[in-house]
Amino acid sequence: MSIGKVWVLAEADGDEVASAALELLTKAREIGDTVEAVYVGSSADAVAGVLGEHGATTVYAVDPGDSLSGAVGAAALEKLIGEHSPDLVMFDQSYDGRDAIAGLSARIDRTVLTNSADIRIDGDQVRATTAIFGGTQIVETAFEGEAPYLAAFRPKSFVAEPSGGAAAAVVAVDGVDAGRAGEAKVLDRHVEEAEGPKLEEAEVVVSGGRGLGEAEHYALVETLAKLLKGAPGASRAIVDAGWVPYSHQVGQTGKTVKPKVYIALGISGATQHLVGMKGADNIIAVNKDAEAPIFSVSDLGIVGDVHKVVPKLIEALEARA
Amino acid sequence: MNVVVCVKQIPDPAAPGALDSDNTLTREGKLILDESDSFGVEMALQLVDTAGEGEVTLVSMAPNNEVSGLRTALAMGAAKAVLISDEALAGTDALGTAKVLAKAVERVGDADLVLTSTESTDGYTGTIPTQIGQLLDWPALTFAKHIEVGDGKVTIQRQTEAGYDTVEAPLPAVASVTAGVVEPRYPSFKGIMAAKNKPVDEVTVADLGLDGQVGWSGAHQAITAVEAAPEREAGEKIEDEGDAHENIVSFLDELKVI
């Protein structure tokens, strides 16, 4: 089953298209007859190749200048939707993706389905699924009312595959006025964590929780992550406590990760956390509470003190390096 | 400076969640202040304190005229609250919720800044702050890990994957606050006592002029299925006797990640 026209808001960091955009384009090809991308940035010609290779025939490009990308994206989409009438617009569940879907929703008075893990066409309905209650239940929701439908997806919901298409035709979008939303200006950018893979793209994720005892002990997590060429993550508890920034949070109100190996250190495994990591291929947990729920999903569970086990593990790995 | 903080009163997140027969989240029993919102309340109190004038007003949409979570935030130091409670709100989607909250902000009047969390703990759609901004036609500065106000402008450090961006906008504006950015104060005994007498303006959907725009009919989405997710099997569990790290090394070896 398919629908007519599916759009993907494709995000990129400079020339580098986000992997989530390619995942969404791949899914869009499966459910849409026509697949097009909307891109907010100043490198449209540089990204048109890879977007085309993943199925976008056209990329509508708008330059946000120094305004927030999501705010300009929402305004551009409103204008473009009026001209081209897509049936479905797919967004990445990222910071800018969330801004864009939210702003657009209010602009064109459409509901949103976010945190989606899948989408399918059933007869004349478009239905998206999302995991709730710590991933124990899957809810499927159908859009009602008039298209376009707006849905945001957790990264890694789909596997990106090239279609071998030619570079997308670039259509510059001019005359976008974001109104007061566009008055939020980016003055400068601070890069703090240039090292290592991104949390959502890492093969190995090492996360820490309250069982670490204090903020300084998060260094154990970072050291182990670095040794395994992985990314450091965190439970909500230690983000709420201010030990690490929100960008590290794995879970329902944070990120969903699906690495080859997930290592949970001092994390009890509240449902809030489990939903964000139980899709990992392999899970290793270290926790001193033998009854911790994290052990119900772990392939290898160590009942022990992270402060004893992890330093020895780090030492053993360093010895092999 | 006047700051409005949107707060949600939710079932205790430590308790297992459940769905009612109409597939809405079960909200029976006592509701509590969403911990995510305690950061916005604290931030608002600090901003007003720094400005040296103004007050913090809470806005909350909840079933059954629930006020227990509001009392917590009032005890922290907020001056007053607007509570929107109405049977007509059952089934309202995120956009409908944003419409209610935006109208409530207008009802409060003279707000310079609206603060929210980045998403609620129970529903976590994560679109409300920007939707409120767009509905009010105010800029929305999202994912703030630091906020300053001065010279008629709000400046935030906006969380990014790589670090943060400094983002600025003229007031009035909306900002969403990430968790952990300030340490929420515990209500004092004096605060708790004072909170009992602070004004809570209880309003209905009709009071806000949103008849027919919220609730099930306004949501434009319908749950078609709820299914149990496939369970993950628990594997080996061993007690550390000083050498458990070797088991981890062997496991990582098998998986060829080292």
Q: Is the predicted pLDDT of residue A272 greater than 90, yes or no?
A: no
End-to-end CA distance of chain A: 51
The reported pLDDT for the residue numbered B14 is 80
Number of neighbours of residue A181 by Cβ within 10 angstroms: 28
For residue B173, the number of C-alpha atoms closer than 13 Å in the C-beta half-sphere is 28
Number of neighbours of residue B199 by Cβ within 10 angstroms: 11
Q: How far is A131 from chain B (nearest CA, A)?
A: 8
**Residues 47 through 66 of chain A touching chain B, CB cutoff 8 Å:** none
Q: How far is A166 from chain B (nearest CA, A)?
A: 30
Cα distance between residue B161 and residue A193, in whole Å: 8
Query: Is residue A268 very low, low, confident or very high in pLDDT (cuts 50, 70, 90)?
Result: very high
Give me the DSSP letters along chain B: --EEEE--EE--TTSPP-B-TTSSBP--S--EE-HHHHHHHHHHHHHHHHHTS--EEEEEE-GGG--HHHHHHHHHT--EEEEE--GGGTT--HHHHHHHHHHHHHHH---SEEEEESS-SSS----HHHHHHHHHT--EEEEEEEEEEETTEEEEEEE-SSEEEEEEEESSEEEEE-TTSS-PPPPPHHHHHHHTTS-EEEE-TTTTT-TTTSSHHHH-EEEEEEEEPPPPPP-EEEE-SS-HHHHHHHHHHHTT--
Mean pLDDT of chain A: 95
Q: Is the predicted pLDDT of residue A319 greater than 90, yes or no?
A: yes
Whether residues A223 and A260 fall in one domain: yes
Interface check for A141 against chain B (CB to CB < 8 A): the answer is yes
Instruction: Give A243's contacts in chain B (Cβ within 8 Å).
Output: 180
Q: Is the predicted pLDDT of residue A193 greater than 80, yes or no?
A: no
Interface check for A183 against chain B (CB to CB < 8 A): the answer is yes
Instruction: Give A105's contacts in chain B (Cβ within 8 Å).
Output: 94-95, 127, 131
In the numeric block, the tokens 């060829």 are attached to B256
Last residue of a domain, one of A125, A152, A183: A183
Instruction: Give A261's contacts in chain B (Cβ within 8 Å).
Output: 252, 255, 257
Whether residues A72 and A164 fall in one domain: yes
**Among candidate residues B213, B131, B99, the one with its CA nearest the CA of residue A150:** B131
Whether residues A20 and A167 fall in one domain: yes
Domains recognised in chain B with CATH numbers = 3-219 (3.40.50.620)
The reported pLDDT for the residue numbered B18 is 82
State the ipTM, two decimals: 0.95
Dihedral sign computed on CA atoms, order B120, B123, B127, B130: negative
The reported pLDDT for the residue numbered A194 is 59
**Among candidate residues B66, B73, B63, the one with its CA nearest the CA of residue B41:** B73
Cα separations in angstroms, B27 against A253, B11, B73, B172: 19, 6, 20, 33
Cα distance between residue A291 and residue A178, in whole Å: 52
Q: Which tens digits make up the pLDDT trace of A147-189?
A: 999 999 999 899 999 999 999 999 999 999 999 999 999 999 9
Instruction: Give B121's contacts in chain A (Cβ within 8 Å).
Output: 252-253, 272
End-to-end CA distance of chain B: 56
Q: Is the predicted pLDDT of residue A135 greater than 90, yes or no?
A: no
Whether residue A111 lies inside any domain: the answer is yes
CATH (domain of A60): 3.40.50.620
Mean pLDDT, to the nearest integer, of A286-315? Answer: 97
CB pair distance less than 8 Å for B247 and A114: no
Whether residues A146 and A213 fall in one domain: no
The reported pLDDT for the residue numbered A42 is 94
- Please state, for a pLDDT cut of 70, what percent of chain A lies above it: 99
Q: How far is B57 from chain A (nearest CA, A)?
A: 23
Cα distance between residue B135 and residue A107, in whole Å: 8
Q: How far is B34 from chain A (nearest CA, A)?
A: 12
Query: Which of B117, B220, B227 to mutate against chain A (most A CBs within 10 Å)?
Result: B220
Whether residues A99 and A220 fall in one domain: no
Whether residues A81 and A24 fall in one domain: yes
Whether residues A100 and A237 fall in one domain: no
Amino acid, res. B82: V
Whether residues A142 and A239 fall in one domain: no
Q: Which tens digits make up the pLDDT trace of B26-74?
A: 887 789 999 999 999 999 999 999 999 999 999 999 999 999 999 999 9
| Three state DSSP letters for chain A | CCEEEEEEEECEECCEECHHHHHHHHHHHHHEEEEEEEEECCCHHHHHHHHHHCCCCEEEEECCCCECHHHHHHHHHHHHHHHHCCCEEEEECCHHHHHHHHHHHHHHCCCEEEEECEEEEECCEEEEEEEECCCCEEEEEEECCCCCEEEEECCCCCCCCCCCCCCCEEEECCCCCCHHHHHCEEEEEEECCCCCCCCCCCCEEEEECHHHCCHHHHHHHHHHHHHCCCEEEECHHHHHCCCCCHHHEECCCCECCCCCEEEEECCCCCHHHHHHHCCCCEEEEEECCCCCHHHHCCCEEEECCHHHHHHHHHHHHHHHC
Q: Is the predicted pLDDT of residue B13 greater than 90, yes or no?
A: no
Cα distance between residue A189 and residue A66, in whole Å: 11
Whether residue A190 lies inside any domain: the answer is no
Cα distance between residue B124 and residue A102, in whole Å: 13
Interface check for A305 against chain B (CB to CB < 8 A): the answer is yes
Instruction: Give B227's contacts in chain A (Cβ within 8 Å).
Output: 137-138, 140
Distance of CA A312 to the CA centre of its chain: 33
**Structure tokens belonging to residue A95:** 């910071």
The reported pLDDT for the residue numbered A2 is 81
Dihedral sign computed on CA atoms, order A129, A133, A137, A142: negative
Query: Is residue A321 very low, low, confident or very high in pLDDT (cuts 50, 70, 90)?
Result: confident
Query: Which of A13, A16, A66, A68 to mutate against chain B (most B CBs within 10 Å)?
Result: A68
Q: How many domains does chain A have?
A: 2
The reported pLDDT for the residue numbered B23 is 83
φ/ψ region of A313 (left if φ > 0, alpha if ψ in -120 to 50, else beta) reads: alpha
Last residue of a domain, one of A183, A218, A248: A183
Range of the domain at A115: 3-183
CB pair distance less than 8 Å for B125 and A242: no
CATH (domain of A244): 3.40.50.1220
Whether residue A37 lies inside any domain: the answer is yes
Cβ atoms B226, A141 nearer than 8 A? no
A:B CB pairs within 8 Å = 285
Whether residue A196 lies inside any domain: the answer is no
Whether residue A197 lies inside any domain: the answer is no
**Among candidate residues A206, A210, A240, the one with its CA nearest the CA of residue B118:** A240
Cα distance between residue B88 and residue A304, in whole Å: 51
Whether residues A301 and A263 fall in one domain: yes
Q: Which tens digits make up the pLDDT trace of B125-175?
A: 999 999 999 999 999 999 999 999 999 999 999 999 888 999 999 999 999
Mean pLDDT, to the nearest integer, of B214-219? Answer: 90
Whether residues A66 and A154 fall in one domain: yes
**Structure tokens belonging to residue B210:** 């949103």
Q: Which tens digits make up the pLDDT trace of B96-123?
A: 999 999 999 999 999 999 999 999 999 9
Query: Is residue B22 very low, low, confident or very high in pLDDT (cuts 50, 70, 90)?
Result: confident
The reported pLDDT for the residue numbered B230 is 86
Cα distance between residue B74 and residue A66, in whole Å: 38
**Structure tokens belonging to residue A60:** 């509508």
Instruction: Give A239's contacts in chain B (Cβ within 8 Å).
Output: 178-180
Whether residue A254 lies inside any domain: the answer is yes
- Please state, for a pLDDT cut of 90, what percent of chain A lies above it: 89
Residue of B nearest to A136 (CA): B229
Cα distance between residue B139 and residue A39, in whole Å: 21
Instruction: Give A99's contacts in chain B (Cβ within 8 Å).
Output: 130, 140, 142
Cα separations in angstroms, A187 against A66, A75, B150, B156: 7, 21, 16, 10
Q: Is the predicted pLDDT of residue B249 greater than 80, yes or no?
A: yes
Query: Which of B134, B143, B210, B217 to mutate against chain A (most A CBs within 10 Å)?
Result: B134
Whether residue A191 lies inside any domain: the answer is no
Cα distance between residue B8 and residue A312, in whole Å: 44
Q: Is the predicted pLDDT of residue B244 greater than 90, yes or no?
A: yes
The reported pLDDT for the residue numbered B110 is 94
Cα distance between residue A213 and residue A41, in whole Å: 43
Last residue of a domain, one of A183, A212, A235: A183
Whether residue A198 lies inside any domain: the answer is no
Whether residues A45 and A164 fall in one domain: yes
Cβ atoms B85, B66 nearer than 8 A? yes
CB pair distance less than 8 Å for A184 and B165: no
